[in-house]
Amino acid sequence: MKTEILLLEEDKIDRDIMKKASNLIKAGELVAFPTETVYGLGADGLNTEAVSKIFKAKGRPSDNPLILHIADPEQLEDLVEEVPEAGRKCIEKFWPGALTLIFKKSRIVPDIISAGLDTVAIRMPDNKIALELIKESNRPIAAPSANTSGKPSPTKAEHVKLDMDGKIPMIIDGGSTGIGLESTVLDLTESIPMVLRPGGVTVEELRELLGNVETDSSITEVDSDLIPKSPGQKYKHYAPKAEMFIYDGEIEKIIHSIREETKIHFENGKKVGIMCTDQTKEFYKQGISISMGNRDDKSSIGHNLFNTIRRLDELDVDIILAESVSMEDMGIAIMNRMLKAADGKIIRVKEE
Ligand code: TXA
Ligand code: MG
């Protein structure tokens, strides 16, 4: 299959391209499109056969449910049993935006979407191309991140092309995605709302709105004994080709340890990739260091994280050493993705 890549600007949407894309969705085909978080791989969310193509193109395990994307909160009515009070508040404050809500599903949601669960994940994305595609297609669009399962989520159309070329008919190139990390997934089906995946909307923001909010304990630990409540969190994720290690502790000690480790690998003829920050980049003279962003502005690190991992892959490094970031704000989402990319390998640096 030939994959067509069409450029589209959020503020100047070409109607012909949008028609072409929505016609593909209506015909049961796949279209990759930008959202404000990462690129999605879209299909008609009410068509089981179309949705099955998503699983095939991604190589995604069938027990991992998908998010339905809507363009208007009114579309919820048909898709869910009820919207609890906490859900109403979240919708008012965060939609359109990077918050996916889990509800009890209605009967029209196909089993393939929910992977057999009695719940469904829904969000209204904050990107005009995504919203137009949903409206023009006139149905909810199922869309996981548009990467091959296990790889970092795509934040640019070229990332989608690397993973999906020849497998899908169309990629809409709407430029680099703003947030760069996936949406926060919040379960509203228990008495206390629970964050199953941290993301674009922070836990602090949710607590400010809803009061008591729990977080699934598997979020910041990679421990095979913990069974995550969000099926997707149990799989290998975001993994670069090279083995990756995270260094955690005081920043001076992190820098010192990464420099020492880099020196050893360098002397052994190995190519070392270092994931650092604007504040620390100057300290790494050996290895290939790439800044993920500004330590004082976590959103800049979120925006660049997946692209940094993909760039190090392209540079064919043998090993990746990454600085940790603190857990406030987007820090939880960033550390969750980094821990999965490193398969839990974290080195706690201490006083000599
Ligand atoms: O930002 C995003 O959320 C992007 C863009 C494209 O919207 N989408 C995305 O989808 O990240 P995906 O499929 O890569 O991740 C969806 C996550 C998975 O961890 C999945 O297990 C979880 O949401 N999920 C989906 N439905 C669920 C349900 N009914 N109960 C619990 N977790 C669910
Ligand atoms: Mg994904």
160-176: pLDDT as tens digits: 999 999 999 999 999 99
In the reported structure, the alpha carbon of residue 295 is separated from the centroid of ligand 1 by a whole-number distance in angstroms of: 27
Lowest mean per-residue pLDDT among 47-56, 137-146, 163-172, 209-218:
209-218
In the reported structure, the alpha carbon of residue 284 is separated from the centroid of ligand 1 by a whole-number distance in angstroms of: 37
Q: Count of CB atoms within 10 A of residue 63's CB? A: 12
Could you identify the atom of ligand 1 that is nearest to the CA of residue 197?
Answer: 19
Rounded to whole angstroms, the Cα distance separating 144 from 159 reads 14
Mean pLDDT over residues 52-66, rounded? Answer: 96
For the cut 70, the answer to whether the pLDDT of residue 224 exceeds it is no
- Which pLDDT score, from 0 to 100, does residue 223 have? 61
Could you identify the atom of ligand 1 that is nearest to the CA of residue 41?
Answer: 6
Question: DSSP characters for 305-345?
Answer: HHHHHHHHHHTT-SEEEEE---SSTTHHHHHHHHHHHTTT-
Which residues are near ligand 1 (CB < 6 Å)?
A: 35, 37-38, 40, 64-67, 100, 102, 114, 117, 119-121, 125, 143-145, 182-183, 185, 196-197, 230-233
For the cut 70, the answer to whether the pLDDT of residue 35 exceeds it is yes
Q: Count of CB atoms within 10 A of residue 57's CB? A: 21
For the cut 80, the answer to whether the pLDDT of residue 236 exceeds it is no
- Which pLDDT score, from 0 to 100, does residue 280 have? 98
Could you identify the atom of ligand 1 that is nearest to the CA of residue 40?
Answer: 6
Could you identify the atom of ligand 1 that is nearest to the CA of residue 37?
Answer: 1
- Which pLDDT score, from 0 to 100, does residue 324 have? 98
Query: Contact at 8 Å (CB) between 184 and 97?
Result: no
Task: Looking at the CA of 189, name the nearest ligand.
Answer: 1
Write down the pTM of the prediction: 0.96
220 pLDDT band, cuts 50/70/90, is confident
279 pLDDT band, cuts 50/70/90, is very high
- 150 vs 218, higher pLDDT: 150
350 pLDDT band, cuts 50/70/90, is confident
For the cut 70, the answer to whether the pLDDT of residue 351 exceeds it is no
Question: Percentage of the chain surpassing pLDDT 90?
Answer: 92
Mean pLDDT over residues 203-210, rounded? Answer: 98
174-192 pLDDT tens trace: 999 999 999 999 999 999 9
For the cut 80, the answer to whether the pLDDT of residue 352 exceeds it is no
In the reported structure, the alpha carbon of residue 226 is separated from the centroid of ligand 1 by a whole-number distance in angstroms of: 19
Could you identify the atom of ligand 1 that is nearest to the CA of residue 66?
Answer: 25
Task: Looking at the CA of 125, name the nearest ligand.
Answer: 1
What lies within 8 Å, CB to CB, of 26 at 6+ separation is: 44, 137, 138, 139
Degrees, nearest 5: CA angle 99-103-109: 105
Question: Percentage of the chain surpassing pLDDT 70?
Answer: 97
**Which of the listed residues 119, 185, 330 should we mutate to test ligand 1's pocket, taking the one with most ligand atoms within 8 A of CB?**
185
- 219 vs 309, higher pLDDT: 309
Task: Looking at the CA of 152, name the nearest ligand.
Answer: 2
